[in-house]
Amino acid sequence: MRKLFLPLIVVATAMFAYAPYMINEAAYESSMGLVQKIFYFHAPSGMVMLVSAVVCGIASALYLWRRKPADDHLAMAAAELTVLYGLIVMLTGPLWARKAWGIWWDWDARLTMSFVGWLIAISYLFVRKYGGPGSDKLGAALAVFGTANVPFIYLSVNFWRTLHPKTSVVPTLPPLIRGPFWFSALALFLMYLLLLTARLHLERQRAALDALYLAEED
Amino acid sequence: MFITTALLVLRKDFAIEVRSREILYTTLLFALSCVLIFSIAFVKEGEPLLDAAAGILWIAVEFAGTLALGKTFERERYGETLRALLLAPAPRAAIYVGKMLGVVLLLAVAELLLVPLVALLFHAPLLAQPLLLVALLAVGTIGFSIVGTLFAAMLVRARSRDVMLPILLYPMTVPIMIAGVRGTSALLESPADLASAGMWIGLLASLDVVFLTIALWTFEPLMTE
């Protein structure tokens, strides 16, 4: 990944520069108007957020199981990015909702699930920052529980009520929207991978620095 | 062996609690004040808002439970007995189960007080379906205690644990609260919506199984220094 890092940054930058042009060229959705363009980064950000949360959960479970610091570093990096992408989702979602449903927020299944998942990711960072010694294991347990919780949150709110467009929207997109959509999704995923690598590197350096301090003290 | 150890831990906590009754009284009083605060918010011109009773009942249980959870392990830490407890030649998971059962029992006592109180103060026919209500409260309380006891145990050694516990616990117990509140209000409808109440009880029961499995698996590595 280290050798690929620089060329991939160039590719990602080019994709981000080209994306607005593509989105502008995409078919104009008549009922939503200009607001529909939010879709090109709202939905992919949501996908990345979910992937990142799952990465964090799996890495945390592995860390609890075999205690390798590398797993913990990955969980930490993924949790931070879950919060970041969650923020994008949380900011762009209400803008869309205002136009589509006439309200800024609704307690529908997907919205509630994203919100709760985002809160759990934030509380993970909170534990890591203010938990003191042993907070790595604490955070790992939190992440494992949080990941196991996702289907239950989804089921419970789904029985409760649902308003958000279903996942079936994406595979059935009209061709003129589909192209720019997957282009944007790819760009955001690429950015996620790059950020994850950079954050992982930082976490590794920090662990190495801590180890050096400890060695110096002994 | 496993069950004996769990019951021993439960008996030990019970013996300490019987002497002072500190946790029981503070939890009950706290639950009582919660209901009082809610009555200010949700009673309009002498008539409680529709559906308020179910929410008030469950929020009071959750808040009082958080208080009790914090206290349960605070006592171990204060008496510096946690290390001794963990050093005991017994499976760690059994210690966890014993602690968890203690929290469940305590919350059951609190619910014995809360249910009639909420039914009375908010004109809710909570006792119309006693068996289903007991089943719903049981699976909900057990689920809450499973997550809560594990988090409280983990936080014993953490800094700022008093603030941390609710922050970690409330997002995690969202499905329990939804299922509990929705199930209770299904029971409160007239006639009671038995099918959806049963569905919520089923959801909570499966959640209990999943969470208990994870908790039993994670308690051991979490409590190892």
Q: What are the pLDDT digits (tens) for B100-138?
A: 999 999 999 999 999 999 888 888 888 888 899 999 999
Q: Is the pLDDT of residue A161 over 70?
A: no
Under 8 Å CB pairs connecting chains A and B tally to 85
Across B180-202, b (16+ Cβ under 10 Å) vs e yields: bbbbbbbbbeeebbeebbebbbe
Q: What is the mean pLDDT of residues A93-118?
A: 82
pLDDT band of B79, cuts 50, 70, 90:
confident
The question of ipTM being above 0.90 is answered as no
- Whether B150 and chain A come into contact, CB under 8 Å, resolves to yes
Across B58-69, b (16+ Cβ under 10 Å) vs e yields: bbbbbbbbbbbb
Q: What is the mean pLDDT of residues B52-69?
A: 91
Helix (H) or strand (E) holding B47: strand B47-48
Taking alpha carbons only, the member of B132, B141, B139 closest to residue B114 is B141
Cα distance between residue A134 and residue A123, in whole Å: 16
Residues 89-148 of B with CB under 8 A from A: 147
- Whether B221 and chain A come into contact, CB under 8 Å, resolves to yes
> CB–CB of B222 and A116 under 8 A?
no
Least confident of A27-41, A91-105, B111-125: A27-41
Q: Is the pLDDT of residue B23 over 90?
A: no
Q: Is the pLDDT of residue A155 over 70?
A: yes
- What is the least distance, in Å, from the CA of A119 to any CA of chain B? 7
pLDDT, chain B, mean? 88
What are the φ and ψ backbone dihedral angles of B43, each rounded to 5 degrees?
-110, 120
Token readout for B99 is: 């602690």
Q: What is the mean pLDDT of residues A162-184?
A: 71
Kindly list the residues from chain A whose CB atom is less than 8 angstroms away from the CB atom of residue B158. 127, 131-132, 134-135, 138
pLDDT band of A171, cuts 50, 70, 90:
low
Nearest to A157 among B178, B210, B221 (CB): B178
Kindly list the residues from chain A whose CB atom is less than 8 angstroms away from the CB atom of residue B175. 149, 152-153, 155-156
> CB–CB of A152 and B199 under 8 A?
no
- What is the least distance, in Å, from the CA of B141 to any CA of chain A? 16
- Identify the closest residue of chain B to A156 by CA–CA distance: B175
Token readout for B78 is: 């204060």
> CB–CB of A131 and B159 under 8 A?
yes
Kindly list the residues from chain B whose CB atom is less than 8 angstroms away from the CB atom of residue A134. 157-158
Q: What pLDDT score does B215 carry?
A: 92
- What is the least distance, in Å, from the CA of B203 to any CA of chain A? 8
Mutation pick from B73, B86, B174 vs chain A, by most beta carbons of A within 10 Å, is B174
Q: What is the mean pLDDT of residues B43-66?
A: 86
Distance of CA B84 to the CA centre of its chain: 26
Q: What pLDDT score does A60 carry?
A: 93
Cα distance between residue B151 and residue A141, in whole Å: 9
Q: What is the mean pLDDT of residues B20-38?
A: 88
Helices (H) and strands (E) in chain B, counts: 9, 2
> CB–CB of B221 and A137 under 8 A?
yes
What are the φ and ψ backbone dihedral angles of B47, each rounded to 5 degrees?
-110, 125
**Domain regions of chain A by residue span:** 39-212
Residue pLDDT, tens place only, A51-91: 899 999 999 999 988 888 899 999 999 999 999 999 999 99
Helix (H) or strand (E) holding B43: strand B43-44
Cα distance between residue B61 and residue B108, in whole Å: 9
- Whether B158 and chain A come into contact, CB under 8 Å, resolves to yes
- Whether B168 and chain A come into contact, CB under 8 Å, resolves to yes
Kindly list the residues from chain A whose CB atom is less than 8 angstroms away from the CB atom of residue B154. 137-138, 141
Mutation pick from A127, A147, A154 vs chain B, by most beta carbons of B within 10 Å, is A127
Kindly list the residues from chain A whose CB atom is less than 8 angstroms away from the CB atom of residue B169. none
Q: What pLDDT score does B109 carry?
A: 93
Enumerate long-range contacts of A175-178, CB under 8 Å, 24 or more apart: A176/A26, A176/A27, A177/A26, A177/A27, A177/A29, A177/A39
Q: Is the pLDDT of residue B202 over 80?
A: yes
